[in-house]
Amino acid sequence: VEIYSLQVDCKVTSRYAHTVITSRIVNRANESREATFEVELPKTAFITNFSMSIDGEVYPGIIKEKAAAQSEYDTAVSQGQSAGLVKITDRKLEQFQVSVSIAPASKVTFELTYEELLKRQLGKYELLIKVRPKQLVKHFQIDVHIFEPQGIQFLETDSTFMTNELTEALTKVQNETKAHILFKPTVDQQKTNSEPDGTRLNGDFVVRYDVKREATAGDIQIVNGYFVHYFAPQEMPVFPKNVIFVIDRSGSMAGRKIEQTKDALLKILQDLRPEDHFSFITFNNKVVEWKSSLLPATEENVASAAALVQTLTARGGTDINGALLAAVDMLDRAEGLPERSVSMVILLTDGQPTSGETKVEVIQDNIQTAIDGKYALFCLGFGFDVSYKFLEKMALSNGGIARRIYEDADAALQLQGFYQEVATPILMQIEMQYPENAVEGLTKNNFKLLFEGSEIIVSGKLSNELELLPVEIKAQSHTSNLTLKEEANVNEKEQVFQNQRYIFGNFIERLWAYLTIQQLLEKAISAQEEDQKALEAQALDLSLRYSFVTPLTSMVVTKPSDQQQEELANKPTEAG
C-alpha cells in the first residue's frame, strides 16, 4: 500500500487556523489490503470534516450529538469493539486514525479538516504540524498561508527533522501582512542514508510568529457582521507578585519526579524579581511551612530557599486540603506586601488526596471559600495518577488554570515553562466593554489577570446597521487605573478581508463559535449541576451548528458495505 500523495494545506487568517490534510493511497498488491490514515493534530483544535473516497465513491463523516451517536453505534456493533478513532498521544497532540480495506489497484483519498484559534504564549503564536508519513511519498507538501492584517512582526519555522538537503525544499515568502511557507521535499530529499526506504520526515514542523501592535486599545477585525477584538498591550510595568509554592513530597513523588521538581524550583527561584514575595509549603500527610510568612525575594532569601529545595525527599501520604488552606492562611496574614501586587498559589501534586480531608468535593468547597476570589490558584498535575478533573475544577473556580505535567525527560522544562507564563502579570481586573444594544453573543469579556506575552480575545455578533463600534477597556496596571477607548469603523474593517482570495469567508463567525464553545465547556467544569447542563446544551448546539467535533459531539465515519459499517471519532479531554 503506497501513499503517493500527502498534502497539508493550512490557512491562518488573523490567528484562526484552518488545516486540511489530504492523503492519497493506492493498493499496488494483487489482493485486498488495509489502507490507514493516521494524523496527529493539536489538542486545542476541533475536527470539522472528514471524508474517504474510494474509487470515486465518497464516504463522509457525519457529526452528531455524542450520546445519540454512541447508542446508534452500540446497536450497530456488538459490544466491546468500539475502539475510538481519536486518542491523546502526547502533551500537545491527539491522533486521528482510520483504516479501510481496498481492492487491488484501488485508490482511496482521505481528507481531514480541523480548525483552531492560535493562542499567544510567551510573545508568539505557534502553528504545529506533525509530520509522520512512515514511508517515502512521491508528492509531499506542506503549504501554509498566513494573513495578519495587523502586520507580521516576525516569523520563523522550526522543525525537529530538518537537514541541509531538506532545507532546500523549504521556501518562505513574506510581506507586511502575508506570509507563504512551502515545504516540498522530493523523494530523494526525504530519504535517510541508513535505510533504503527510510524517511527523514518524522517529527514536528512548527511555524511561530507574532503580529505588530500599534493601537493602544487593541485591534478589532470584522467580517460578515461578526467581530473579534485582540488586546495585548505593549511595554506595561510588571506587577510584583506574592507567590506560595505548595509542593507535594508524598511517597509517590520519590525518584525522578522529586528530582525534576527540585531542578525546576531552583531555576524558578532564580527567576523571581527582587520586588516579589514568596514562600514554600511542602506536604505529605504533614504540612510543613518553610517560613511562617512570605519573604521578599532578596538574594539571601532566594539562596536560603534553594538550600531547602535541595533537601526535599519524598515519603508519606497526601494532604492537599491542609496544604492549600495553610497557603491561603499565610496570604491572609501577610503584612507589608506591595499595595498593588498579584497574589497566587501554585500547587504541584502527583496524586489523589489520601490524608486529612480526602473527599474532593469537600476540598474544592473549602478552598473556594477560603480563597474567596482574593488570590489565583494554579494547579499542576504531575503524571497520570492525579485526578486531573479535581485539579482543573479547583483551579478554574479560583481564577487560575490547571496543566498536566507529562512524566518525560523534560518535565523540569515543562514546569519552568508554565511558571514563565504566569511570572509577569501586567494587568488585573480587565473589563472589555461594548455598547449593549450593538453586540450580542459576546464571549467572555472580564478577565482577572493578563500576563506578559499572552493576549485577550473577545468576539461577538454586531447588530445590523451599526456604523461605528466604540470599545472601552478598563483595567488596573501596577502604576495606575487605565481606561482605553477606541472606535472601529465597521465598513472600513469589513473592507480589509474583501479581496483576500485565500480566506475562508465566514472565518470570524467560526472563530466566535470556536471560542464560545471552548469557554462554555470551561465554565461548565466549575459550574453547579443545573448550570452545567445548560452550558453544555448551548455548547452542543453550537458544535452541531458549526460542525465541530467537541467533547459533546461525535463524528460517525461510514465505510463501504462489505466492512464494519461505522466507527466513531470522539474528542478526548485531558481529564479523560
Query: What is 241-423's CATH number, 3.40.50.410, 3.50.50.60, 3.40.640.10, 3.90.1170.50?
Result: 3.40.50.410
DSSP 525-552: HTS-HHHHHHHHHHHHHHHHHTT-B-TT
Higher-pLDDT residue of 71 and 8 is 8
Which pLDDT score is estimated for 351? 87
Where is 412: in which H helix or E strand? Answer: helix 411-422
Fold classification of 2-212+552-559 is: Immunoglobulin-like (2.60.40)
Using an 8 Å Cβ cutoff, are 4 and 491 in contact? no
pLDDT-wise least confident of 82-96, 213-227, 377-391, 420-434: 82-96
- The predicted pLDDT at position 77 comes to 61
Look up residue 574 and give its three cell numbers: 485531558
Task: Output the pLDDT for position 179.
Answer: 97
The confidence score (pLDDT) of residue 251 equals 96
Q: What is the pLDDT of residue 237?
A: 94
115 has pLDDT over 80: yes
Query: Can you give the pLDDT at residue 90?
Result: 82
Are 440 and 390 in contact by the 8 Å Cβ rule? The answer is: no
Which helix (H) or strand (E) covers residue 476, if one does? strand 468-476
Q: Position of cell 467580517?
A: 223
Q: How far lies 28's CA from each of 7, 37, 319, 350, in Å?
A: 21, 17, 61, 50
User: Is it the case that residue 194 has pLDDT exceeding 90?
Assistant: no
**Whether 406 contacts 539, CB under 8 Å:** no
Q: Average per-residue pLDDT in the chain?
A: 93
Half-sphere exposure of 539 (CA within 13 A, CB side): 24
The owner of cell 507564563 is 421
Query: Confidence band (pLDDT; 50, 70, 90) for 498?
Result: confident
Grid cell, residue 346, equals 501554585
User: Sorting pLDDT into bands at 50, 70 and 90, what band is 178?
Assistant: very high
Residue pair 401/378 in contact (Cβ under 8 Å)? The answer is yes
The reported pTM is 0.94
Q: Which residue has the higher pLDDT, 563 or 68?
A: 68
Tell me the domain boundaries of the chain.
2-212+552-559, 241-423
User: Is residue 82 pLDDT above 60, yes or no?
Assistant: no
Instruction: For residues 472 and 392, give the distance between their C-alpha atoms in angstroms, rounded to a whole number.
Output: 32
Closest CA to 421 of 162, 179, 241: 241
Per-residue pLDDT tens over the stretch 373-427: 999 999 999 999 999 999 999 999 999 999 999 999 999 999 999 999 999 999 9
Confidence of residue 81 (pLDDT cuts 50, 70, 90): very low
Per-residue pLDDT tens for 26-76? Answer: 999 999 999 999 999 999 999 999 999 999 899 999 999 998 888 877 776
Which of 208, 219, 5, 64 is CA-nearest to residue 125? 208
The DSSP-derived string for 67-125 is: HHHHHHHHHHS-TT----SEEE-SSSEEEEEEEEEE-TT-EEEEEEEEEEE---BTTBE
Q: Is the pLDDT of residue 236 over 80?
A: yes
Q: Are 2-212+552-559 and 241-423 the same fold in CATH? A: no
The answer to whether 540 and 55 are in contact (CB under 8 A) is no
∠ CA 176-178-179, nearest 5°, is 115
pLDDT for 440 beyond 50 = yes
- Nearest-CA neighbor of 252 among 324, 314, 319? 314
pLDDT in tens, 339-373: 899 999 999 999 899 999 999 999 999 999 999 99
Q: Does the pLDDT at position 80 exceed 80?
A: no
